[in-house]
Amino acid sequence: MTFGVVRILVINGPNLNTLGWRQPELYGHETLADVEAKCVAEGKQLGLEVECFQSNSEGAIVDRIQSARGVFDGIALNAGAYTHTSIAILDALLAVGTPAVEVHLSNVYQRESFRHRSYLSKAAIGVIAGFGSHSYVLALSALKQQLETASDAEVKKG
C-alpha cells in the first residue's frame, strides 16, 4: 500500500456539466455536483482523497492531466465525446503515466458505432461503462486495488 494519502483526480469532459437535464434516459437525473459529491464520499470510504475537475475544453483537460503528474496517484476520466476523438488527451495520459481508468455513465457499446471506438483506452488500466454514476465508484475501487497491488509488488522487490 502507498504510504500517506492516496490522491485520485476525477475528470469529467464536455457536456457532463449538463448532467441532471441532459438525456436523463441515458445519463440519469443526478447532477454533476451530485456525482462529484458521491465520488468524494465513496472515495473517503475507500480511504482515498478525491478531487474533481470538469471542463468542456480539450486543452483544459490536457492541461489538468499534465498538472496531475506527481501530485495524483490515479485518474478516473470520463472524457465524454473526446473519448472518441482526442489523440491529444491520449498523449497527455501516456506522457504523465499516472494510472487511469476510463469511465462512462452509459454503455457506449449499446449505442452508435462511433461511440465504440475509444482513443483513450490504450492509456487506461481498464474501462468501466454502463453503470450510471456507480461507474465512477467502480473506477475508484479499481484504482485503489491497482495501486495497492502495484505498491505491494514494489515492497516485495525491496
Selected from 32, 46, 81, 88, the binder of ligand DQA by CB under 6 A is: 81
SS (H, E, C) the chain: CCCCCEEEEEEECCCHHHCCCCCHHHHCCCCHHHHHHHHHHHHHHHCEEEEEEECCCHHHHHHHHHHCCCCCCEEEEECHHHHHCCHHHHHHHHHHCCCEEEEECCCHHHCCHHHCCCCCHHHCCEEEECCCCHHHHHHHHHHHHHHHHHHHHHHHHC
| Contact call for residue 78 and ligand DQA (CB under 6 A) | yes
| Contact call for residue 80 and ligand DQA (CB under 6 A) | yes
In the complex, least distance from residue 81 CB atom to ligand DQA, rounded to whole angstroms: 4
| Contact call for residue 83 and ligand DQA (CB under 6 A) | yes
| Contact call for residue 115 and ligand DQA (CB under 6 A) | yes
- For ligand DQA, which residue has the nearest CB? 80
Choices 64-72, 78-86, 136-144, 146-154; region in contact with ligand DQA by CB under 6 A: 78-86
Comparison of 56 and 141: residue with beta carbon closer to ligand DQA: 56
Binding site for ligand DQA (CB under 6 A): 15, 78, 80-81, 83, 104-106, 108, 115
Just list the catalytic residues. 27, 104
